[in-house]
């Protein structure tokens, strides 16, 4: 069974999902308790946007071993992809995504990278209160990480959404001061402009809100 599992991983790395699936299934036929194989099958269904089938596989993996952390990571990624592609289910699926990613972190991986991904999930799910807590912790523990600028961005966004307008402006100004223009998003100009507006810097706000619209017309309102 371990040989077929290894072959499945080999083909999965090459994005040869049909060959990978065959080997994962062979591994499970020999040993149905191989949770990793079940998770990998669920992940491949997710990549094919077969959301229901992916959920079924990943829930099965969690039933087999409730302490197997990677299963929670994959089902969290599934739910977030599901949320972003089906607006009618966004609220429910994004909440499921954050819940399961937090479970993954608690069980398996408390690294900066994983907590940053969790922070991104919180932003998508509009849980700005928790986002502010998580990003503050990340900023304090890893100020020199290469991805610290993403943390600074999310701190600005969450401060604004939590109506901490002076703090939001401070974070966004700090983010812009440290970021190259090629890495600035339309949403960065949007939040900077909105923070400036709330802090009575109207002439600057107009400039940055205009840039936000020029980069992404969905910001026009």
- Using pLDDT thresholds of 50, 70 and 90, give the confidence band for residue 40: confident
What pLDDT is recorded for position 208? 95
Q: Report in angstroms the alpha-carbon separations of 155 from 115, 117, 214.
A: 14, 14, 24
* Reported pTM: 0.84
What pLDDT score was predicted for residue 77? 96
Tens digit of each residue's pLDDT (9 = 90 or more) over 103-160? 999 998 788 999 999 999 999 999 999 999 999 999 998 888 888 899 999 999 999 9
Q: What is the reported pLDDT for 10?
A: 74
Residue 219's pLDDT band (boundaries 50, 70, 90)? confident
DSSP 8-state secondary structure symbol assigned to residue 120: H
Q: pLDDT > 90: what percent of the chain?
A: 68
SS3 199: coil
Query: Region 150-173: what's the mean pLDDT?
Result: 96
pLDDT at residue number 192:
97
Give residue-wise pLDDT tens across range 58-98. 999 999 999 999 999 999 999 999 999 999 999 999 999 99
**Joined tokens for residue 91:** 């609220």
| pLDDT classification of 29: cutoffs 50, 70, 90 | confident
Distances (CA, A) of 79 to 5, 36, 125, 205: 25, 19, 11, 36
Q: What average pLDDT does this structure show over 179-188? A: 92
């Amino acid at each position: 069974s371990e040989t077929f599992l290894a072959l499945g991983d080999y083909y999965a790395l090459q994005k040869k999902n049909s060959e990978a699936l065959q080997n994962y299934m062979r591994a499970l036929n020999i040993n149905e308790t191989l949770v990793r194989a079940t998770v990998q099958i669920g992940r491949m269904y997710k990549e094919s946007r077969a959301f229901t089938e992916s959920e079924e596989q990943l829930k099965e993996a969690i039933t087999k071993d409730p302490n197997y952390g990677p299963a929670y990571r994959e089902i969290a990624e599934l739910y977030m992809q599901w949320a972003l592609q089906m607006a009618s289910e966004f609220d429910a699926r994004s909440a499921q995504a954050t819940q399961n990613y937090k479970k993954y972190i608690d069980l398996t991986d408390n690294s900066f990278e994983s907590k940053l991904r969790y922070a991104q999930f919180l932003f998508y799910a509009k849980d700005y209160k928790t986002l502010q807590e998580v990003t503050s912790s990340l900023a304090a523990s890893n100020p020199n990480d290469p991805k610290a600028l993403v943390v600074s961005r999310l701190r600005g966004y969450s401060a604004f959404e939590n109506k901490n307008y002076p703090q939001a402006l401070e974070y966004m100004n700090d983010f812009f001061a440290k970021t190259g223009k090629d890495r600035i998003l339309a949403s960065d100009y949007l939040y900077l402009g909105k923070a400036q507006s709330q802090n009575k810097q109207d002439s600057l706000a107009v400039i940055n809100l205009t840039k936000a619209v020029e980069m992404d017309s969905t910001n026009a309102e």
